[in-house]
Chains A and B, each alone.
Chain A
Amino acid sequence: AQKITQTQPGMFVQEKEAVTLDCTYDTSDPSYGLFWYKQPSSGEMIFLIYQGSYDQQNATEGRYSLNFQKARKSANLVISASQLGDSAMYFCAMRASGGFKTIFGAGTRLFVKA
């Protein structure tokens, strides 16, 4: 069975500093994709970044990067130079390649302090 674990219910970070949000996963599928989504207080779900299990390099999208450690089954999200607008809920998710079901972790709420 597939599982996503986010162990940090809440995190605080100072504005302009970097922060790492943890995500570990469990799957027996050899090919899968890992996703991070942001949910601001307004409630919408915003796609941030994707990492394929066979991708050789860690994914990056602007200030977001994904620290992918396949042997440890971790896919941590790193946000550089935090901004006040980064305060939100962040969800890690996974889907087996060719699979139909995307499963989500419980989320981490990030608070950025001025």
Chain B
Amino acid sequence: NAGVTQTPKFQVLKTGQSMTLQCAQDMNHEYMSWYRQDPGMGLRLIHYSVGAGITDQGEVPNGYNVSRSTTEDFPLRLLSAAPSQTSVYFCASRSEGPPAPYEQYFGPGTRLTVT
């Protein structure tokens, strides 16, 4: 049971390049989400999904796309990278069913630098 995995761990992009951050979970969780973590701002929700084929926007969705074709995978796409997207990105998953607390399980994070 690997939990939530993310690749790559580190990435450097030039402004304007595109890339996909990969996220996978093997816990059969319905709910998956992407956060970015910037100094002094905690974690901010980018996009989330409540099941295969269903996605929605979080607090800071601009510049990012997601899709959810399977329960296991939830990739995050940067369409045209900007320096403002330099951040640490976390993928998380959780169950929707009881019992509480339905805590989120986080991946190890991807540190992205855009120059």
Contact = CB atoms under 8 A, between A and B. Distances in A.
A35 B103 contact: yes
A47 B103 contact: yes
A100 B103 contact: no
Contacts of A101: 45, 48, 58
Given A91-B42, A106-B41, A45 B56 contact: no
Interface residues of B, number: 26
Given A44-B106, A100-B31, A100-B50, A52 B43 contact: no
A68 interface: no
Given A44-B108, A50-B101, A52-B100, A102 B45 contact: yes
B7 to A, nearest CB: 15
Nearest to B44: A104
24 contacts: A4-B42, A9-B40, A35-B101, A35-B103, A43-B108, A43-B109, A44-B108, A45-B90, A45-B92, A45-B104, A47-B104, A47-B105, A50-B103, A93-B43, A100-B50, A101-B45, A102-B45, A102-B104, A103-B45, A103-B59, A104-B42, A104-B43, A106-B42, A107-B42
Given A50-B100, A105-B42, 19 more contacts: A4-B42, A6-B42, A33-B101, A35-B101, A35-B103, A35-B104, A44-B106, A45-B90, A45-B104, A52-B100, A91-B42, A93-B43, A100-B31, A101-B58, A102-B45, A102-B104, A103-B45, A104-B42, A107-B42
Interface of A: 4, 6, 9, 33, 35, 43-45, 47, 50, 52, 91, 93, 95, 100-107
The 9 A-B residue pairs whose C-beta atoms are closest, nearest first, are A50-B101, A45-B106, A104-B42, A47-B103, A104-B43, A106-B42, A43-B109, A107-B42, A105-B42
